[in-house]
Amino acid sequence: MSNWYRFFWVLPLLGGCGARSMNATYDANTASPAPDVFQCLRERIPKVGFTQTSYDLDAQRLTAQRYDDKARRPDVQFRRLVDRLEFDVGPGSEGAVTKLTVTAKTYAELTTQRGPTEQQEKPSRTVTETAQTLIDQCGTPVDSTKVPG
C-alpha cells in the first residue's frame, strides 16, 4: 500500500495521449484517374489564392500555402498566419479508381530572437473551406455524358 503514489505521475502522461489532432483531413473517392485529379489540383490551387510550394509527380503529392498578413494578435512576436494544404492522390478503394486526401493545417508565424518560428494551431476557417472546395472540384468524377464531343 505504500507504493500507490507512484501511479500518479502516469496520469498527466495519459491525459496527453488523448489530445486531438491539430489537422483537418478530408477524403474523396472518385472514378477519375489519378493523373487527372492531380492535374486538376495543380490548376485550381492558384485560383483559390494558394501558392503551390512542392509537388512529387511519382508519388502524386502536392503542398500549397497561403500567408494571412491581415491577422492580428496581441502578441508582439506574432507576424502572420500560414495556412497549408497537403494533397495525396493515390489508388482508390471500394470500387473507386482514385482516392484524394487533403490535410489542412494552420501555423502562427512568430518572430523570435532565434528567427522565424511556427506554432501549429487549429486549422483556420479559410484553410478548411478551401480544402473542402478543392475536394468538391477535383474529387468528383467527370460525367462522360456531359463532355462535348
Residue 10: other Cβ atoms inside 10 A? 9
Backbone angles phi, psi at 36, to 5 degrees: -70, -40
Nearest to 36 by CA among 111, 139, 107: 139
- pTM summary value: 0.77
Consecutive 10-residue averages of pLDDT for the chain (149 residues)? 51 52 87 91 95 93 94 88 94 83 94 90 95 89 47
- 15 dihedral zone (left: phi>0; alpha: psi -120 to 50; beta): alpha
Beta bridge partners of 90: 99
Tell me, what's the pLDDT at 6?
A: 52
What pLDDT is stored for residue 46 in this prediction?
96
> Residue 92's pLDDT is what?
81
Which domains does the chain possess?
20-138 (3.30.530)
What is the pLDDT, as a whole number, of residue 144? 46
